[in-house]
Structure 1
Amino acid sequence: MEQRKPTITEVHVEDKSATIIMKVDANILDFRGHFTHFPLLPGVSQIDWALFYAIEYLGTPPLFKGMEVIKFQEPILPDSVVTLELTWDDDKQKLAFKYSSQTSDRLVIHSSGKMKLGG
């Protein structure tokens, strides 16, 4: 079977927030053809993973109702180790997410956004 999700190495859940450390394995199917000479993780995969792990770890509603804010700042490359931070606002039915990684000298924000979810 083809690999579609990253390798999760750590998960920390507290109330309505989760921090997930993952290795974005080079053999993930989503890298194929995106792009041949410079593979990077598609934005749609990042959104899919944020929703998937929010449902799994925070029990958020499963229905995607749209994006409100999204920024793709730095590509996520094969075999990167990234941190996904998720925060659920139950009153507003909004999920905030941020993918980041640490280089030797700085914190890199790969992408962030907010999505509206429902039942």
Structure 2
Amino acid sequence: MTDFVYQAELELIEQSSNRVELNLTIPENLYYFQGHFPEAPILPGVAQLDWVMNYLAQYFGLDITTLISVDALKFQHIVRPGYQVTLTLEQLKPKKYSFNYSSNHGQHASGKVVFA
């Protein structure tokens, strides 16, 4: 039986008061690849959004239970096992943040989250 992991390998690249840049290495044995899809695994968008929320809580101290909306959510290119992606989180306004997943494969996902 394979031991699954639930998070990407994380490296903090840059951090300021309103911006965080993280390098994520997507492991082959990531739990979220199970059944999504067996022949060609891809990282589900819901997992990407979950990571955004967790890293916003971790690096900006946000209470993510006060989420009001996810706006301009776009998934441009799939994320596969073994990819290295950069996740950039940026505070736009006191309760509004943007996120962007990108790699040498292009931009993978982006959007904005708004909190109460």
Say yes or no: does 1:78 pair with 2:81: yes
Distance 2:62 2:15 in 1: 13
Tell me the residue number matched to 2:11.
Answer: 9
User: CA shift at 1:3, angstroms?
Assistant: 1.2
Q: TM-score, normalised by structure 1?
A: 0.87
Q: TM-score, normalised by structure 2?
A: 0.89
Query: Contact (CA 8 Å) 1:60, 1:88: kept in 2 or not?
Result: no
Distance 1:39 1:2 in 2: 14
Distance 2:13 2:57 in 1: 14
Written as runs of structure 1 = structure 2, the 5 A alignment for 1:104-115 is 108-115=106-113
Written as runs of structure 1 = structure 2, the 5 A alignment for 1:1-119 is 2-63=4-65, 64-91=67-94, 93-103=95-105, 108-118=106-116
Query: Contact (CA 8 Å) 1:65, 1:116: kept in 2 or not?
Result: yes
How many residues get paired?
113
Distance 2:115 2:50 in 1: 13
- Percent identical pairs in the alignment equals 29
Amino acid at match of 2:113: M
User: CA shift at 1:90, angstroms?
Assistant: 4.1
2:56 alignment partner, SS class: helix
User: CA shift at 1:100, angstroms?
Assistant: 0.2
